[in-house]
Structure 1
Amino acid sequence: MKVLQSSMKYSWLLLLFWNPAHTPDCSAVVATEVSGLFRSQSSLLDLNPPVHLSQLRHALSGQTTGTYKGRTIAPVMSAAGADWLTREDRERNEQPEKVLDALNIREGMTVADIGAGVGYFSLRLARRVSNNGRVLAVDVQSEMLELLKKNMEKQRVSNIDLIQGSPVDPHLPENSVDLALLVDVYHEFQTPEEMMSRIRSSLKSDGRLVLIEYRGEDPNVPIKPEHKMTVKQVLFEIEPMGFRLKETLEFLPWQHIFIFVRD
């Protein structure tokens, strides 16, 4: 949650040469940082020194955040671009109410919306689960959660819990979630195995994991390649993490819907 107070150039040199390969303790580097600079990226950074430094290097350079199983990990969308989450054509393309119908979201359920952003799905989920259900809205950016809080107040919604996660932990209670929903977010996980392990632990024994991802097989989907995933790649990554594919839904014009259960 911090960034270096020195110049951009000096920060890059420091990060480039002072890393786990050169010293076992990076805490001295982290300790030289101050909050407030690069605010849109700062809330994405983990406090674990080696992970923190790697993330900061990418934030300073504007690069993506590495690779996982042959796939480029996409950068997390900054809160500065939050308006894109409520763009006019999103409802036509993503059909959120139809998606929630297909997922059989019911009154009384506990649903985790991971990568909740400004609450595009969280607010709809809250109405579906009603007052005797809960929505656990997780985001790594405090700015996104502040925007979601304002939207909750506008719509007088009170059954959403705001949770600030980290790149390695969504901070969900164990064995408590009926359905974990990840809409266009899994491909941005900087530490997929750590995140998915914790998400799996949060699910009830009969809980479901739902991933919605833009189709990587379709070159006509107007999204950058690192923000799309193929069916093959999703199964290659998710199934070894202790999940079994139950169903794939293909009624959306641009996106796959994957429904997994615990294996």
Structure 2
Amino acid sequence: MRHWACATLFIVLFFSSPAWAQDAAVPESIKPGINEAFLDLELDVEAWVNRFEVESREVFHAKAEIVQRLKLSPGDRIADIGTGTGLFVEPFSQAVGEQGWVYALDIAPKFVERVEKLAEIRSLNNVTPVLCSKDDIRLAPGSINAAFICDVYHHFEYPQQSLASIHKALAPGGKLVVIDFNRVPGESREWTLNHVRAGKEVFRAEIEKAGFRLVGEVEVPSFKENYFLQFERK
């Protein structure tokens, strides 16, 4: 149980550190309120499990394809940024093996609690849940060689600051994978147009500006609404 004690201490130290106090100094949110529901301390986690982990959700249906195309190797250290209900935590844990590590990050305390319980129940001893902030993933410099952002980038309220923290946490040459919704006026459904702030090209430009190089767009045959972009840290 020492592993879980360390995870809890990790979270407590961040909340008591000056880094948390700096949140008040960040620029104005690019989309205020988009994460408000997740920060509710009474968040109904099971309701979100029923919403996120269903066949009708494209990334849930394509989970095996996504993991396969990530091409994780034993020993990799990956950050699942915006892990939510922990959909990818177990397959990532299996892919990186005993010598690898999975950091399951979220801004929602209730989601972090769920992933901690999930990892303990399923004996995923290479998983550390991390409560991050709206503008900082809060991982040590060079601590990961892969970062995964699935249906979450459009929830970044402070993309410049969040991307800077990801760039810092990634080792040089590390990969960043971003999966998000195609937002095309006249083609995308109304929910996407209202909820997702920008299209693929805008997101790509933001990420490249933050010090990443586009490796390419990865084809996922079952995708109809989503895209899969892979970047490399310069």
Range into which the TM-score falls when normalised by the shorter chain: 0.7 to 0.9
- Equivalent-residue separation in structure 2 for 1:101 and 1:188 (angstroms): 25
Match in the other structure for 2:138: 171
Q: When the two structures are superposed, what TM-score results if normalisation uses the length of structure 2?
A: 0.77
Q: 2:194 aligns with which of 222, 225, 232?
A: 225
- Equivalent-residue separation in structure 1 for 2:54 and 2:137 (angstroms): 26
Whether contact under 8 Å (1:74, 1:227) holds in the other structure is no
After superposition, where does 1:1-263 map in structure 2 within 5 Å?
A: 47-48=21-22, 50=24, 66-67=29-30, 72=31, 75-76=34-35, 78=38, 79-80=43-44, 81-83=47-49, 84-90=51-57, 94-217=61-184, 218-220=187-189, 223=192, 225-227=194-196, 229-251=198-220, 252-263=223-234
C-alpha change, 1:246 and 1:49, in structure 2 (3 Å) is closer
Unaligned runs of 5+ in 2: 1-19
C-alpha change, 1:74 and 1:129, in structure 2 (3 Å) is farther
SS at match of 1:260: strand
- Equivalent-residue separation in structure 2 for 1:73 and 1:248 (angstroms): 29
Structure 1 position 222, deviation (Å): 5.3
The alignment of Structure 1 onto Structure 2 pairs a total of residues equal to 203
% identical aligned pairs: 24
Match in the other structure for 2:13: none
Bigger shift: 211-220 or 200-209?
Answer: 211-220
Structure 1: 4+ residue segments shifted above 4 A = 91-94
Match in the other structure for 1:39: none
- Equivalent-residue separation in structure 2 for 1:248 and 1:238 (angstroms): 14
String of CA shifts for 1:56-77, please: whole Å, max 9, x gaps. Answer: xxxxxxxxx843xxxx567125
Greater RCO (Cα-Cα under 8 Å, separation 6 or more): 2
- Equivalent-residue separation in structure 1 for 2:136 and 2:214 (angstroms): 23
SS at match of 1:210: strand
Structure 1 position 86, deviation (Å): 1.6
C-alpha change, 1:99 and 1:257, in structure 2 (3 Å) is same
C-alpha change, 1:232 and 1:92, in structure 2 (3 Å) is closer
String of CA shifts for 1:110-154, please: whole Å, max 9, x gaps. Answer: 011011112101221001111111001111111101111222233
SS at match of 1:168: coil
Whether contact under 8 Å (1:93, 1:253) holds in the other structure is no
